[in-house]
Amino acid sequence: MTEAEVRSARAAAPAVLIEARGLVKRYGDKLAVDGFSLQVRSGEIVGLLGPNGAGKTTAVEMMEGLRRPDAGQSFICGLDVHRQGRALRPRIGIALQAARLPEYATVLEILTLYASFYEDPMPVGDLLRQFSLEEKARTRFSHLSGGQRQRLALAVALIGRPKVLFLDEPTTGLDPQARHALWDVILDLKEEGRAILLTTHYMEEAERLCDRVAVMDHGRILAEGTPRELTRAYGPEAAVELDPGGARVDLAELARLSAVTGVRSEDGRVLLHTANPPATLMALARYAQERSLPLSDLRTRSATMDDVFMALTGRRLRD
């Protein structure tokens, strides 16, 4: 590729709106974040996944400009978040896991209050329509459902017309219907060209929403890529999942079955990672017959992001 072609490709690529470069944060002797680097482009959702204590919250707060790093830099829309924070305020929207808004104020009052903080806010009426809150305009925040509270929190985050959104576990505690409805809203925000950094404890949410995923543990990013890239790189080719029906099984024996590359027990079920599902199924059938082992709810499945997360961290996402 010629130099002119490289410049043309860079110009055509979506702009980097969120960037962390080598962020480091220590608390006493503990290294909470160790060389954290990440980019999020316009029109992209990037998921940051990690078990509790991985350093996600500290890393995100440094990217938002809410916490100063010991080393490294954070940029929003090309501006340093600590040196040029005042100019950045209208460009950043933040929606926290638990919306902390005035309990006795109505939806309309809350949106009107926050709109007064900006020189060119989005019209309150437009936000009410966009987030399906028109019928709740005169309802107090304390009387809203969980899904309505989260939609209002997103509306508040968008009032200043930000180009960047930080969403901290936006659907935690919501029922499936409310969660799926909020997913649609978030995808619409992406299509409008915003850069979105999402933290979540739901692997399905990461797979459904995120263009790229970064897996973090012990203050470092262990792997980064699209969900498909990560499952190909770190997940087993396939798995055989079975319910032993309460019977005791020897995991070491199962690990020696044909084509099995790994075994683990999870919530009473047994998962056999395999390079050849048909061969493993035949060997498993013989194994069960020889030991009069009941096999119920036997199934095969492809590798998932859960498998990737377990392979990288040794833990489940909600641990």
Residue-level pLDDT at 167 = 94
Q: Rounded mean pLDDT of 194-214?
A: 94
Residue-level pLDDT at 158 = 92
Q: Rounded mean pLDDT of 228-233?
A: 88
Of 242, 258, 220, nearest in space to 25 by CA: 220
Instruction: Classify domain 16-232 at the CATH class level.
Output: alpha beta
Question: For residue 72, what pLDDT band results from cuts at 50, 70 and 90?
Answer: very high
Note the pLDDT tens digit of each residue in 136-186: 999 999 999 988 998 999 999 999 999 999 999 888 888 888 889 889 989
Q: Which amino acid is at 99?
A: A
Question: For residue 89, what pLDDT band results from cuts at 50, 70 and 90?
Answer: confident
CATH of span 236-302: 3.30.70.980
| Average pLDDT taken over every residue of the chain | 88
Residue 64 φ/ψ region, left for φ over 0, alpha for ψ in the -120 to 50 degree band, beta for the rest: alpha
Least confident of 8-17, 66-75, 248-257: 8-17
Contacts for 212 with CB less than 8 Å, ≥ 6 apart: 44, 46, 47, 224, 225, 226
Residue-level pLDDT at 60 = 95
Question: For residue 300, what pLDDT band results from cuts at 50, 70 and 90?
Answer: confident
Question: For residue 236, what pLDDT band results from cuts at 50, 70 and 90?
Answer: low
Bridge-partner residues for 216, per DSSP? 221
Q: What is the DSSP string of the chain?
A: --HHHHHHHHHHSPPEEEEEEEEEEEETTEEEEEEEEEEEETTEEEEEE--TTSSHHHHHHHHHTSS--SEEEEEETTEETTTSHHHHGGGEEEE-SS----TTSBHHHHHHHHHTTSSSPPPHHHHHHHTT-GGGTTSBGGGS-HHHHHHHHHHHHHTT--SEEEEESTTTT--HHHHHHHHHHHHHHHHTT-EEEEE-S-HHHHHHH-SEEEEEETTEEEEEE-HHHHHHHHS-SEEEEEE-TT----HHHHHTSTTEEEEEEETTEEEEEES-HHHHHHHHHHHHHHTT---EEEEEEE--HHHHHHHHHSS-TT-
Residue 303 clears pLDDT 60, i.e. is over it: yes
Q: Rounded mean pLDDT of 114-136?
A: 93
Residue-level pLDDT at 9 = 43
Residue-level pLDDT at 4 = 52
Can you tell me the distance from the alpha carbon of 300 to that of 278, in angstroms, rounded to the nearest whole number? 10
Residue 22 clears pLDDT 80, i.e. is over it: yes
Q: Rounded mean pLDDT of 273-290?
A: 89
Residue 53 φ/ψ region, left for φ over 0, alpha for ψ in the -120 to 50 degree band, beta for the rest: left
Residue-level pLDDT at 207 = 92
Can you tell me the distance from the alpha carbon of 224 to that of 164, in angstroms, rounded to the nearest whole number? 20
Domain coordinates of the chain in residue numbers? 16-232, 236-302
Least confident of 22-26, 55-59, 164-168, 260-264: 260-264
pTM above 0.85, yes or no: no
Domains 16-232 and 236-302 in one fold: no
Residue 213 φ/ψ region, left for φ over 0, alpha for ψ in the -120 to 50 degree band, beta for the rest: beta
| Cβ atoms < 10 Å from Cβ of 164 | 21
Note the pLDDT tens digit of each residue in 246-270: 778 889 999 999 989 889 887 788 8
Residue-level pLDDT at 205 = 92
Of 242, 245, 248, 207, nearest in space to 228 by CA: 207
Residue 122 clears pLDDT 80, i.e. is over it: yes
Q: Rounded mean pLDDT of 293-308?
A: 81
Residue 195 clears pLDDT 90, i.e. is over it: yes
Q: Rounded mean pLDDT of 28-55?
A: 94
